[in-house]
Amino acid sequence: MAETSSIRATSGGALRRWQEEHQSRIEDTRRAMYRFVQNRLSLLGLCFIVILILVAITGRWWVPYPQDATGTIHASDRFLAPLHAGRIFGTDELGRDVFSRVILGTQTALFSGVIILAVAISIGVTIGSVAGYFGGWIDESLMRLTDMMLAIPGIFLALAITAALGPGIIHAIMALSVTWWPGYARLVEGQVKSAREQDYVEACRSIGAKPGRIIFSHIIPNIISSVIVKASMDFGFAILSLAALGFIGVGAKPPTPEWGSMISDGRTYLPQYWWYSTFPGLAMFIAVFGFNMLGDGLRDVFDPKSRL
Amino acid sequence: MRLRYYILRRLLLFIPVLIGLSIITFVISHIVPGDPVGLAAGPGSTPQQIEALRKQFGMDKPLPLQYVTYMQNILHGDFGRSLMSRHSVGGDLRAFFPNTIELVVLSMLIAVCVGIPLGVVSAVWRDKWPDQFSRVFALGSISVPSFWLAIVLQIVLSMHFGWLPVGGMYDPRAAMPARHTGFLLLDTLIDGDPHAFIVALKYMILPAFTLSLGSIAFIMRILRADVLETLNSDWVKMLRANGLPERVILFKYVLKHSLIATVSVIGFIIGYSLGGSVVIETVFSWPGIGLYAVSSALTLDFQPVMGVTLMVGLIFLVVNLLTDLTYGVLDPRIRYG
Amino acid sequence: MGMTNDENQRSAELWFNYSRARISRRTLVRSVVAIGGVGAVQALLAACGGSSKNTPVSSATSASTSASTSASTSAATTAPTTAATTSSGGATAAASPSSAAASTAPLIYNTQPNPKLPPQKLIYAGGQDAPTIDPSDRTDYSIGALTMQLYDRLFRYEGGWPQPIDPCLCVKYEASTDATEWTFNLTDQAKFHDGSPVTADAVQYSINRTLQMKKPRANSLLPIMDLNSVTVPDSHTVKIKLTQPYSELLRALDQPIMNPTVVKAHEVNGDMGAAWLVDHEAGSGPFTIKSWTVGTAYELEAVDDYWQGWPGDSHLSGFTWQIVRETTSQRIGLISKQYDVVDTLSADDVDQINAQAILNAQVNYGILTGYTKLNDQKEPTNDLNFRLFLAYAFDYQSYLKVINNYGQLLTGVIPKGIAYFDPSVGGFQTDLDKAKEYLSKTKWANGGLTIDFVYVTGLTFEQQVGEIWLAQLAKFNIKVNLVPKVWPDIVTGCKAPDSAPVMNMIFTGYTIPDQWFFYQWYSPNWDRPSGGDYNTCSFFKDDNFNKLVDQVRSTSDEDTKKKVYSQMQQIIHENVPDIPIYVQPNIVGLQNKVQGYKYFGAISVDFWRLWVDDSKENTKPSA
């Protein structure tokens, strides 16, 4: 630690100080990234995701027919085949450009997925860590509650909720968040329970740290990796569940371009006007596949057991 | 002795969970803004008719009383009546549930038969092309919406090639086989009618396969991870050191161990399949509870929705319990009590 | 039977004149033969004056197909003699057939099957379930299609579109001039499936059972009848004395007739057999139930010795109604020959179906009409100028393009196929200048408001109407909010003006002309404590209009009716309570080998008229 004292003397040493303090963590991360890059499929997945995020953010500026996503229709341009009259992906039954709507739908898809998971993770992690840390009857009752929510497949509950509140993408997102948190609660509960017995937690407790601080500053950062892995794999499923709700008829409100509703609307025109369903389906495939691959790769990286 | 204690405790815990589930569903169905009674009475009905219908279904009483009455009836096996069709929900459930269960069971069989080999192949040839191919196939198959894939399969296999039927449960031009158990495949076997069995299988294979894709991916992934771990564990290294050929190690020891991992996800798979059945049943016109639940939910017909929720919840709890017990049997390290 | 509106009108006039003794019987017969052939005469006299001992079966069959001019002269001489032997009811038989076409159909059809065309089974893919077939409960297109085959009614209406009134259980009827007292003579040939004859008691029992149970089937009868209305002077005569005059009783009396013995035998706890009749039948119709799996498939088989015979060259040995909700699956199943007939194809499927050598798609326009209902009691649509603005702003031609031209724009307030449609009233066309003119007369000349457009979630064609409204009104700086809702929600919202949306997309249709006006725009149907329903959600109120509706429902004088109907249409057109959008086609896809399909205004088919001819597999039907 003699180097430390000499570094402290130099100006601009703040960054180096931080680097020194977190040296092991930085090395770990470097190693992890190296391993991650080695897995070609996961890298592909990451590329897909990055492209999607870029498209979602910049789409509205370079899309050829942005007004087709906000209500304009061109009835005479109905069902143009792809690459006709300047429509790369063709048009739908109202003459709207499928390409523009798919690109603009990226925003809706990513946005919905993020919200669903953010809400689900917030609720689930909180409940799970409280249950796992305190144990006893708090644990029992919270876990029974979680069991109850897990006991029914999400789509039934989501259906009941959207049937009660009415169709609309916000309601669908709410419904799906409510059905998604139990998975995270269960995951976190188990991990917190075993983490509780570890030495570092013992150490924190002995110096009088409050439970909240222990949980949030110490335990959670150590188990966050499994949550991240689950989240990245769930992202795809979240978007697919939204599409399933759209298929049943309780999804996004028109004319919002949403991949699931577009696929659902277009399915009655298969196989004749195949482009209506296929291109949104392809976009969804890229997104879900990308996130799944990413999650796979992350899990390979974080999970020591498969690090072989 | 302690095992019995454990089972009893779990069974007792069913009750609060189911009650909680029923309360949640009941509350949701009743905070709805729509009035299903007015709808069920039909257009042009007089106010007296609507009120009479409301009384008939006991919906004029205060909510908590309705709930208590409903739960009391459940204990007698009466799940109430559907507002729209006036059929007894219990009767409907008895008619539709076996069909969905049959579909789910067949899809699980397919998932196990396809997923396990894929998982093993992936693990053994790790990071080589069989592994990459299996992973891409498995993950790709669940990255498209199931209803889209179902329709595409219908178009290709039914319309284009004519190999498989479009939908339904059995050939409408042939005589329907006698029903004994409620499970069509079993019934045809009981009657010793191989031709009918083949026909029934033909109608079931496409929806079951489409439903199984998610489970295949999941099993493959779990198995791959588990087999990888086992192949590199100390006791396998020991077997290798003793000179056992790799193939024997794989099939005699590793696989058995990995089946445990598969069992642990059975519960999850059943839940996933039950949820996926909603969409699959709609596309393939398969008369199961998925379809029943959706049409009831969309007409705010709450008694069927509650009935389905409770049944599905019960199945889930039972499956979880059985899974945990089987897990305990297979893995001596895990014992309860 | 395929008589045109014109021919119906002419026959009606002829009968009217004859009953007023303005023309002789001879003139009547000659004129009617000129219109519709031999069968026309027999049927006309049979329905309105002949006895049940009708002329031989053979001439009856040839009547429907051939114009048979050569046969007509000889038959014409026989027909009057048969008719002459019966009393034609005297002066009270002023049966102004109301809006009914004078029937040209015989009572008994061909009972011997053609040996070259053995009966075959038909597989029908229906988009909707039939959760109950209790004839006193309710009806919709699927329930109706099935009960029609299991039971007989007093009349048959499926002979064509517009619907004629053909004899079934009733062979002759009379009505008093004030349309309150009606007498029906029944055939003695009809038998229930258990062998017992269909008597007047069964008719009385069936009608009273429906009135007592007070379910939706009774809704058209309760206002005009009570439990004492139906009397039975003898075993084959039914007398009905209405509590209110109603000229359209023949169409409202579509009650399937049940076998009282059978129903009573299955009574449980005084439920009048309701639990049993949900999935069992007690009828006399051409089919019986073979197996009944609710939500899945319904299997019916033919009654070989059905008393009325079969109108086609052959008939079905049975049929299965399979429930297939996805139109894509229906289409694929039809193409891959798994289904023989499918009923809810979409407009874009038609070309694909017709392109197949073995299939044909039938597109017909009936009663199913889509209105954008405007809330006349709420801003901004309570302003007549705003409503007129909307009527001229909608892009009707674009919508037609969107549905691939498979739709008929309305040229009036009701579809032009409905009786008493007055073409002089006219409809609306897109005219953006006129729209702007009317908008400037309102408070919102520069737009700047948002209105909700409510429609049924999942129904793409309703969504498309909304999307056109959105696009059009955006040009006037008015924002349209598309609000999909589940159906029960919409129905509840329509109870009162406050809870109802400004724009509501509703599809509706009625077979009886006065119902178009009575159910939609007659204010006592919503201006009451219990509120309205989805039919009335334009909340239109006009006392003069209400009086006209009352008048037209109680009179049976043709001239008055024509005048009043025209006046009503004019009022509705001027006040624009709703924007009539289009008539939705009923599209049925069939294998070419399925013969006998006749459109009768509804979504489904009349299985009694169908048969399968394998030799016609590649022959498309001539238009």
- % pLDDT > 90, chain C: 50
Binned at pLDDT 50, 70 and 90, residue C73 comes out as very low
- Is pLDDT at B324 greater than 80 in this prediction? no
Q: What pLDDT score was predicted for residue B334?
A: 57
User: How far is Cα A104 from Cα A60, in angstroms, rounded to an integer?
Assistant: 7
Residue C16: which pLDDT band, with cuts at 50, 70 and 90?
Answer: very low
Angle of helix B129-141 versus helix B89-124 axis, rounded to 10: 160
B147: chain A residues, CB-CB within 8 Å: 244, 247, 263-264, 267
pLDDT of B310 strictly over 80 = yes
- Range of lowest pLDDT (B85-94, B321-330, C284-293, C455-464): B321-330
Out of A25-29, C60-64, C618-622, which region has the weakest mean confidence (pLDDT)?
C60-64
Cβ contacts (< 8 Å) between C483 and chain A: which residues? 253
Average pLDDT of the residues in A231-239: 84
Position B32 scores a pLDDT of 62
pLDDT of amino acid C67: 30
pLDDT, one tens digit per residue, over C518-554 is: 999 999 988 888 788 888 999 999 999 999 999 988 8
Domain residue spans in chain B? 2-75, 89-330
**For residues B183-194, average pLDDT:** 82
What is the residue-averaged pLDDT of chain B? Answer: 81
- Name chain B contacts of C507, Cβ cutoff 8 Å: none
Position A6 pLDDT exceeds 70: no
Closest to B145 (Cβ–Cβ): which among A155, A164, A263? Answer: A263
Higher pLDDT, A21 or C29: A21
Name the DSSP letter for residue C120: E
- Residues with Cβ < 8 Å from B16, sequence gap 6 or more? A144
Could you tell me which chains touch chain A, where touching means 3 or more CB pairs under 8 A?
A: B, C
Is residue A259 within 8 A of residue B147, CB to CB? The reply is: no
Give the residue-averaged pLDDT of B108-121.
88
* pLDDT tops 90 at residue C287: yes
Q: Taking 50 as the threshold, does the pLDDT of residue C30 lie above it?
A: no
Beta bridge partners of B322: none
Q: Which candidate from C323, C332, C491 shows the least CB-CB separation from B39?
A: C491
Q: Across the interface, do A156 and B293 touch by the CB < 8 Å criterion? A: yes
Chain C (339-368) residues lying within 8 Å, Cβ to Cβ, of chain B: 339
CA–CA gap between residue B69 and residue B57 (Å, rounded): 11
Task: Summarize pLDDT for C293-333 with one digit per residue, the tens.
Answer: 877 889 999 998 899 999 988 999 999 999 888 888 899 89
Interface test with B, best of A156, A180, A250 (most B CBs within 10 A): A156
Contact B155 A271 (CB under 8 A): yes
> Is C326 in Cβ contact with B95 (below 8 Å)?
no
Q: Which residues in chain C have their CB less than 8 angstroms from residue A269's CB?
A: 348
Q: What is the mean pLDDT of residues C68-86?
A: 28
Output DSSP code: residue C615.
G
- Summarize the confidence of residues A126-130 as an average pLDDT: 87
- Has residue B314 got a pLDDT over 60? yes
- pLDDT(B103) > 50: yes
Q: Which chains touch C (3 or more CB pairs under 8 A)?
A: A, B
pLDDT at site C12:
37
Which residue, among A93, A273, A276, would best test binding to C if mutated, counting the most C CBs under 10 Å from its CB?
A93
At B191 the pLDDT is: 81
Lowest mean pLDDT, pick from B65-79, B222-236, B322-336, C365-379: B322-336
Per-residue confidence band for B325, with pLDDT thresholds at 50, 70 and 90? confident
Average pLDDT over residues A207-223: 76
Give the model's confidence band at B124: pLDDT under 50 very low, under 70 low, under 90 confident, else very high. Answer: confident
pLDDT in the model for residue C575: 93
Amino acid at B195: H
- Name the band, by pLDDT with cuts 50, 70 and 90, for residue C28: very low
Q: What is the model's pLDDT at position B224?
A: 81
- The residue among C49 and C565 whose pLDDT is bigger is C565
Distance from CA of C143 to the nearest CA of B (A): 12
Q: Which pLDDT does position C134 carry in this prediction?
A: 92
Q: Mean pLDDT over residues C2-26, rounded?
A: 41
What are the residue boundaries of the structural domains of chain C, listed by start?
366-584
Nearest to A68 by CA among A90, A97, A93: A97
Element (H, E) at B231: helix B194-231
Touching A: C residues 469-508, CB under 8 Å: 470-471, 474, 480, 482-486, 489
| Helix/strand number for chain A, H first, E second | 13, 0
Contacts with B87 from chain C: Cβ below 8 Å:
131, 278, 294
pLDDT, mean of residues C34-55:
33
Which of A214-223, B50-59, C66-75, C238-247 shows the lowest per-residue confidence on average (mean pLDDT)? C66-75
When pLDDT is cut at 50, 70 and 90, the band that residue A11 belongs to is low
What is the pLDDT, as a whole number, of residue B42? 64
Q: Which of B283, B285, B308 to mutate to test the interface with C (most CBs of C within 10 A)?
A: B285
What 3-state DSSP class applies to C286?
coil
Q: Is the pLDDT of residue C433 over 90?
A: yes
What's the pTM value of the predicted model, to 2 decimals?
A: 0.80
B89-330 CATH: 1.10.3720.10
Record: contact B159-C332, CB cut-off 8 A: yes
Q: What is the ipTM of this complex?
A: 0.81
C402 touches chain A (CB under 8 A): yes
DSSP bridge pairs for C291: C299
User: Is C447 an interface residue toward A (CB < 8 Å)?
Assistant: no
Q: What number is the average pLDDT over the span A192-206?
A: 77
| Residue C279 to chain B, least CA–CA distance (Å) | 10
Q: Is the pLDDT of residue B263 over 60?
A: yes
What was the pLDDT predicted at C96? 36
C465: nearest CA partner in chain A: A94
pLDDT digits 0-9 by tens, B70-87: 888 888 878 887 877 778
CATH match of C366-584 with 3.20.20.70: no
Q: Which of residues 403-422 of C touch A (CB under 8 A)?
A: 404
Q: Classify C371 as helix, strand or coil.
A: strand
Give the residue with greater pLDDT, C104 vs B160. Answer: B160
Q: Which chain B residues have a beta carbon less than 8 Å from that of A288?
A: 142-144
Residue whose C-alpha is closest to residue C362's, from C602, C611, C612, C101 = C602
Q: What pLDDT score was predicted for residue B45?
A: 64
Q: Give how far Cα A68 sits from Cα of A89, A257, C438, C460, C474, Å.
A: 13, 9, 28, 17, 13
What is the C-alpha to C-alpha distance for residues B151 and B280, in angstroms, rounded to an integer? 10
Contact A303, A229 (CB under 8 A): yes
**pLDDT of res. A152:** 67
Whether A162 has a pLDDT exceeding 80, the answer reads no
Residue C279: per-residue pLDDT: 87
Distance CA C12, CA C557 (A): 13
Contact B28/A164, CB-based, under 8 Å? yes
pLDDT grade, residue B38 (50/70/90)? low
Under a CB-based contact definition with an 8 Å cutoff, are residues C45 and C104 in contact? no
Residue C149 has pLDDT above 70, yes or no: yes
C499 touching chain B per CB within 8 A: no
- Name residues 167-206 of chain B within 8 A of C (Cβ): 167-169, 172-173, 176
pLDDT at B214 over 70: yes
* Residue among A148, A155, A289 minimizing CB distance to B143: A289
DSSP code string of C132-178: ---TTS---HHHHHHHHHHSB-SEE-TTSSSPP-EESSEEEEEE-TT
Q: Which residues of C touch A166 (CB under 8 A)?
A: 484-486, 489
> Strands C341-342, C120-126: parallel, antiparallel or unpaired by DSSP?
parallel
What is the mean predicted confidence (pLDDT) over A15-35?
77
Mean model confidence pLDDT for chain C: 81
Q: Do C216 and B44 touch (CB under 8 A)?
A: yes
Among the ranges given (C22-31, C277-286, C487-496, C530-539), the one the predictor scored with the smallest mean pLDDT? C22-31
The answer on pLDDT for A141 being more than 90 is: no
Q: What share of chain A is helix, strand, coil (3-state, %, to 5)?
A: 80, 0, 20
**Between residues B335 and B192, the one the model is more confident about:** B192
Hey, is the C-beta of C336 within 8 angstroms of any chain B C-beta? yes
What is the per-residue pLDDT for C372?
A: 95
Which of the pair, A38 or C226, is modelled with greater confidence? C226
Per-residue pLDDT reduced to its tens digit, C173-187: 998 888 889 999 999
Cα–Cα distance, A255 to A86 (Å, whole number)? 22
- Determine contact, residues B172/C323, Cβ cutoff 8 Å: no
Instruction: Tell whether A255 is within 8 A of chain C (Cβ).
Output: yes
Interface test with C, best of A65, A72, A73 (most C CBs within 10 A): A73
pLDDT at site C437: 94
Residue-wise pLDDT for C87-100, tens only, equals 222 222 233 333 34
Model confidence at C440: pLDDT above 80: yes
Contact C247, C176 (CB under 8 A): no
Q: What's chain C's length in residues?
A: 623
Asked if the Cβ–Cβ distance from B85 to C132 is below 8 Å, we say: yes
pLDDT at residue B241 tops 90: no
Q: pLDDT tens digit string along A242-252?
A: 888 877 767 77
3-state class (DSSP) for residue C337 = coil
